[in-house]
Chain A
Amino acid sequence: MTIPTFILKNALRNKRRALLSISSGAVSLFLLVTLQVALRELTLPPQSAGAELRVAVRNKISITNPLPVRQRGIIEKIPGVEAVTPFTWFGGKYKGEEGMSFAQFAMDADKLHSVFGEAKMNGDGYEKFNATKDACVLGKITADKYHLKVGDQMTLDSTIYPGSLSFHIAGIYFGTPDDRNMLFRQDYLDESIGEPGYVGMWWLKVKSADDMVPVIKAINAAFQNTSAEVRAESERNFQLGFISMLGNIKTLIASISTVVVFTLVLVTASTMSMAVRERFRELAILKALGFRRRELFAFILAESFGLAVAGALLGIGGAYCLYTFGDIGKMTAGIFVSFEVTPRIMGVAALVAALLGIIAAVAPSLSVARMSVVNGLKTLD
């Protein structure tokens, strides 16, 4: 027999309790990893390939306030601007669904490739999108979800504009970080709602990264003190601005994570306390046989640490496998398109497991250290 064998036999002497303890650790750490990944995905959305050259321009008052069409000509003339397209939220519901399961935007068909060049389409999707007024292109995730294909017709009931619009699918795009959206033509929308002279936003592409800051400054300055002042910002900042609105969700996730960790500490500490209390007599015998406080502490620590690590392997490993090899789009009904369990998140979860293994061992170790051999032996008779 070796000391590790002795520790292992002790840890597994009550197999049901050990299993439950490991399972509770695994489930809690799985949940912790899930929450941390969700938090990361919400706060650090994946960046698309062309993002560093894209600028989003919205109404300074609110993103829901439209922008006048006449701004386009002014923006296009700003040095460094390569392409500009309107980008108007349609807010349509598909097949009478309760909520919107994918976003739809109206834009210029001929600017799709130049502004959002990372969107790839098979066949002649781009050409068809340019050629047909009621054409649309659909993200692959949404197309797969609704079993839609090129040539199909789809009708959306807008929650913003009166009536419905029907579209023919010209292409299915893929290759962007979020292949869920539907894009259709701004001129089709304008025509159907009577040429209002407004768009939702402007998205543009600058010629080089060096142009980004001057272009943003120039756009903001160009519409200062007009009836539609704008806020131009890089795509990244635009996304982060959205995320700042999720402040409460972040706090909520952080709070749940704290509760998970705290519960985990209580469960593990309670398990270890029970395990040691049951063995108080035996630990007194070990002391009588010559085992010192530090050796007994090492036994308890190793056992507690072992249970925590086993839970961590199952929980963190399970989360990694599920989110790496599983279809996250299906699992979350399309809410998340990526759900990356990063080494940092795994490291943090492993650290939490290690710490709780140590913390859970402290109280029982102290009681064993304080126990005199005689008092321990007295419990025998």
Chain B
Amino acid sequence: MAEPIVKIRELTKLYSQGEIQVTALDRITLDIAAGEFLALMGPSGSGKSTLLHIIAGVDRPTSGQCLVQGVDVTKLNESALADWRNHNVGFIFQTFNLIPVLTAAENVELPLLLTRLSRTQRRKQVETALEVVGLADRAKHLPRQLSGGQEQRVAIARALVTDPALIVADEPTGNLDSHSAQEVLGALQSLRKDAGKTIIMVTHDPKAAAFGTRQIHLEKGELS
């Protein structure tokens, strides 16, 4: 097997709730191969979102290691981590989280504002990303002019516009009807198949998880 893109070793995350300490993740060890579509399942409070956040570099573990493409994201300072996220991770959220005053194209362009790309280059990449998700004709639409499924596909375009190796999706179909959910999951599947992206998706839904190449379950902070 090739070197995994994500390598997690003895990862523990403890939260303090007043005087009580809650174990969100308990010495997790996990490898995720490049090009994998991993469905991370588990009940609420099982720690799946926490694990996703640590892999994506938006949260820090209490102990343990989390290497993504060889970089231990737990060791990076805040500024370096922000830069790393911009180049290496694409985010997809349950509630789409598009900026309402920006058009679909402008929303997709947002992560590119941090790069040194010219305006023309940025526009080209945005067009490509929107084409990938089948929304090139909706480039100038504001989020409120799009359906939920279309909004989530714009979010997918935003996640892949910087061409990251890793895409993390936190309940991406949680707010969608079944038809839109199928569209979004299909788009994610295509990203893995056609673009070789590694996708980690948190979901409650077994039907959504079935789109993944592997499913793992978390229960009370432990892999089951």
Contact = CB atoms under 8 A, between A and B. Distances in A.
B205 interface: no
A74 interface: no
B23 interface: no
Interface in A1-53: 1-3, 6, 9-10, 12-13
A287 B111 CA distance: 10
B87 interface: yes
B215 to A, nearest CB: 22
B111 A380 contact: no
A13 B97 CA distance: 16
User: Which residue, A286, A291, A373, has most C-beta atoms of chain B within 10 A?
Assistant: A373
Interface string B35-61: 000000000000000000100101100
A1 B102 contact: yes
A374 B78 CA distance: 13
A290 B58 contact: no
Interface string A279-314: 001100111111111010000000000000000000
Contacts of A293: 78-79
B85 A289 contact: yes
A282 B97 contact: yes
B95 A381 contact: yes
Chain A contact surface mostly: helix
Contacts of B93: 285, 377, 380
B128 interface: no
Interface of A: 1-3, 6, 9-10, 12-13, 281-282, 285-293, 295, 372-374, 377, 380-381
Interface of B: 53, 56, 58-59, 78-79, 82-83, 85-87, 91, 93-95, 97, 99-102, 105-106, 109-111, 113-114, 119, 158, 170-171
Given A1-B106, A291-B82, A377-B170, 20 more contacts: A1-B102, A2-B113, A6-B110, A6-B113, A9-B101, A12-B101, A281-B97, A285-B97, A285-B99, A287-B82, A288-B85, A289-B86, A289-B111, A290-B82, A290-B85, A290-B111, A372-B59, A373-B58, A373-B59, A377-B93
20 contacts: A1-B102, A3-B113, A12-B101, A13-B101, A282-B97, A282-B99, A287-B82, A288-B56, A288-B58, A288-B91, A289-B86, A289-B91, A290-B82, A291-B86, A292-B78, A293-B78, A373-B53, A373-B58, A374-B58, A381-B95
